[in-house]
Amino acid sequence: MAPPPPGPARRRILLPAALALAAVTGAAGTARARPGASGAPPGVRVTDETYTGRRIVDLTVASPALGGPAPVRLLTPEGWHARRPAHRWPTLYLLPGGDGDHLSWTRDYGIQRLSVLRHTLVVMVSMPLFGFYSDWWNHGAGGPPAVETFHLREVLPLLEREYGAGPRRAVAGESQGGFGALSYTARHPGTFRAVASLSGFVHPHRHPRAVRAAMTHLGLDWLALWGHPERQRGIWESYDPAYLTRRLAGVPVRLSCGDGRLGPLDPPGTGPDEHIPGLEDPDHPFPPGVLSPTEAVLLDENRALAPLLRSAGARLTTHFHAGTHDPAYWNRELRASLPLLLTALHG
C-alpha cells in the first residue's frame, strides 16, 4: 500500500456555510451534458462531466432530492474509459464529514495514489452542510434536502446505469460520514457488503445536545433534521445505527475513533477545537486533557455502539486510540480500513 500523502489541513471540523454550500453546488472545468439514466427518478441527470486527472472524473448531477445541482467525484479503475458502461466494477463509496466536501479524499488523502484501488471504482459524493445523510423532516413538510434519496436513489442507480458502478459495494465515511455509512448500510440491507466509520457520529440519539449545539452554531434549524429527540423519537431511531444493529448481522464493520486528547498525529502546539456553545453536558463534563470535545463525544458513542453490534452478530473490528477530531487520523484509519472493505468487494 502506498505511503500516506503529506498531512492534510488541520482540524477540518466545520466550514462556514457559504464555503460548504459552494463545495456542494460548484463544478469547475470544461464539461459536456449527458442524458439522465434510467433507473433513477425523473429529472436526475448528469449536466457536467469533467476529466480533471488521468483517473478522476467530476460530475454535476441535477438532483430533485436536493433541489439543485450537486457534484460527485469518481476515481475510475484502470481500463474504465475503454470498457464503460458495459463492464461493472466493484464500487467503494466514500462519504464526507458534515461540511459535505467530497474533494477531501483526493485532495487531502491522496487516494488516487493508492495502488490497491486501481481495480475499484471509487465514488465520492457531496452533501449539503450538516445534511446528516438523511431526508430532512422539515417540521413534517419533507422536501429538500433529501440527502439519503440523493445518494441512494439518484446517484447510485445513475452510476450503475451510465458509469460502470457494480452491485458489489462497500462504504466508508469520516465524522458525519461515518454515521452515514452505518445508517445507509443498516437502513438498506444488502446494499453494502462492508462498512467503515472513521470518528463517526454513530449514535446521535445518545447526544442530541451535540446535534443541537453544532447545527445552531452553524445557523441551521436543528429541529428540521429529525424533529425533537423525544417528540419525534421514532424518526431519530429510524436513522440511528444503534437502533438498527440487527440489520448489520454478518456485515464486516470497522469502527475507529480517538479520545479527544493529543495523539501521535497532532503536531506540537495543537490547540483546542473551536468552541461550540452547548456542546458540553454540565452533568457529564469532558475528562481532563480533552482538547477535542467533538471526538470525546464520538468516542462515547462508538463505545456504546460496539457491544450492540457484537450482540447483533456484526463482524466487528474496532480501533479506539488517542487523538483529536482531525483529518490526519481519518487518513490513517481509511488506509487501515481498506483491507476489510476491499476483501468484501474483491474477495
Could you state, in order of their start, the residue ranges of all structural domains in the chain? 37-346
The pLDDT of residue 5: 38
Residues 79-100: tens digit of each pLDDT: 998 888 789 999 999 999 999 9
- Between 54 and 170, residue with greater pLDDT: 170
Question: Using CA atoms, how far apart are residues 13 and 130, in angstroms rounded to an integer?
Answer: 11
Burial class (CB in 10 A: 0-12, 13-18, 19+), 188: middle
CB 190 within 8 A of CB 245: no
Tell me the CA distances in angstroms from 277 to 203, 216, 252, one per residue in order. Answer: 20, 9, 37
Question: In this predicted structure, which of 25-34, 175-184, 227-236 has the lowest mean pLDDT?
Answer: 25-34
The answer to whether the bond into 77 is cis (omega within 30° of 0) is no
The pLDDT of residue 65: 98
Question: Using CA atoms, how far apart are residues 217 and 224, in angstroms rounded to an integer?
Answer: 15
The pLDDT of residue 15: 38
The residue behind cell 442524458 is: 35
Q: What is the mean pLDDT of residues 231-250?
A: 98
Question: Using CA atoms, how far apart are residues 207 and 279, in angstroms rounded to an integer?
Answer: 9
Determine the 3-state secondary structure of 255 from DSSP: strand
The pLDDT of residue 48: 97
Phi, psi of 66 (to 5 degrees): -95, -10
Tell me the CA distances in angstroms from 292 to 1, 89, 238, 313, one per residue in order. Answer: 30, 39, 28, 32
pTM exceeds 0.75:
yes
Is the predicted pLDDT of residue 7 greater than 80, yes or no?
Answer: no
Determine the 3-state secondary structure of 56 from DSSP: strand
CB 338 within 8 A of CB 21: no
Mean pLDDT of the chain: 90
Q: What's the gap between Cα 169 and its chain centre?
A: 15
The pLDDT of residue 282: 86
The superfamily (CATH) of domain 37-346 is Alpha/Beta hydrolase fold, catalytic domain (3.40.50.1820)
